[in-house]
Chain A
Amino acid sequence: AQSVTQLDSQVPVFEEAPVELRCNYSSSVSVYLFWYVQYPNQGLQLLLKYLSGSTLVKGINGFEAEFNKSQTSFHLRKPSVHISDTAEYFCAVRISGGYNKLIFGAGTRLAVHP
């Protein structure tokens, strides 16, 4: 079975500061890794994904994530956040070569303050 742990339920940060949202996963088989963002009263939007290859993945809105196989982590980073980045962020895994089934973490609420 697969599981995803997002280590912080809430992350407050000041505008223009860097931020890291942490994600660890557990799986006995190979997985794909994803970060989604959810703005209030909206669905989920894909920020970035890791399938294979380079462990540093760049996504939309200036976000990037690094896959660390030995630590089973996929942390999301942004060097300088904006007020508009305030949202809920979800880390997810999917079995590689498997069905279209995502296993999500509990989410991290990023609050950017002026």
Chain B
Amino acid sequence: KAGVTQTPRYLIKTRGQQVTLSCSPISGHRSVSWYQQTPGQGLQFLFEYFSETQRNKGNFPGRFSGRQFSNSRSEMNVSTLELGDSALYLCASSFGDGSSGNTIYFGEGSWLTVV
């Protein structure tokens, strides 16, 4: 069974540009969540989708957005990139809706560098 797949793995963007990151969850998983990991702020929750609905959002500006498709695949978008957006963006998927102790599985991440 394939794990959580994220593309691209590495990318470099210029300030002011926008970027779209893609995530394919484990087959059968309906929940997808996104996290940002930086040396200064650590791992921070961005948002979670379940069956195409955003259920929870972290404390990030509106430049950060996401969506989930009917096949559970998800994308996140960051517009008007800033240097501080340089980070590892991790996608995670889970079978359940969180009401039980379902395990959350992580992908290997997308490394974004903003120059």
| A residues adjacent to B (C-beta < 8 A) | 32, 34, 36, 41-46, 49, 51-52, 90, 94, 96-107
Residues of A within 8 A of B35 (CB): 102
Are the CB atoms of B105 and A100 closer together than 8 Å? no
- In the assembled complex, B85 has its CB within 8 A of some CB on chain A: no
CB distance from B99 to the nearest CB of A (A): 5
Among B42, B97, B101, B108: residue with most chain A CB under 10 A: B101
Residue B101 contacts which of A49, A101, A106, A107 (CB distance < 8 angstroms)?
Answer: A49
Asked if A46 contacts B103 (CB within 8 A), the reply is yes
List B residues at the A interface (Cβ < 8 Å).
4, 31, 33, 35, 42-45, 48, 50, 55-56, 90, 92, 94, 96-109
Known contacts A32-B101, A49-B101, A107-B42; decide if A100 and B108 are in contact (CB<8 Å).
no
CB distance from B101 to the nearest CB of A (A): 4
Q: What are 18 A-to-B residue pairs whose CB atoms are below 8 Å?
A: A43-B4, A43-B90, A46-B103, A49-B103, A51-B100, A90-B43, A94-B98, A98-B98, A98-B99, A99-B48, A99-B98, A100-B94, A101-B48, A101-B56, A102-B33, A102-B104, A103-B45, A104-B43
Does B108 contact A101, Cβ atoms closer than 8 Å? no
- Number of residue pairs spanning A and B whose beta carbons lie under 8 angstroms apart: 68
Contact of B99 among A36, A41, A97, A105 (CB under 8 A): A97
Q: Judging by beta carbons under 8 Å apart, are B33 and A44 in contact?
A: no
**B45 closest partner in A (C-beta):** A101
**What A residues does B48 contact at CB under 8 A?**
99-101
Chain A residues with CB under 8 A of B55 = 99
Q: Chain A: which residue is nearest B4 at the CB level?
A: A43
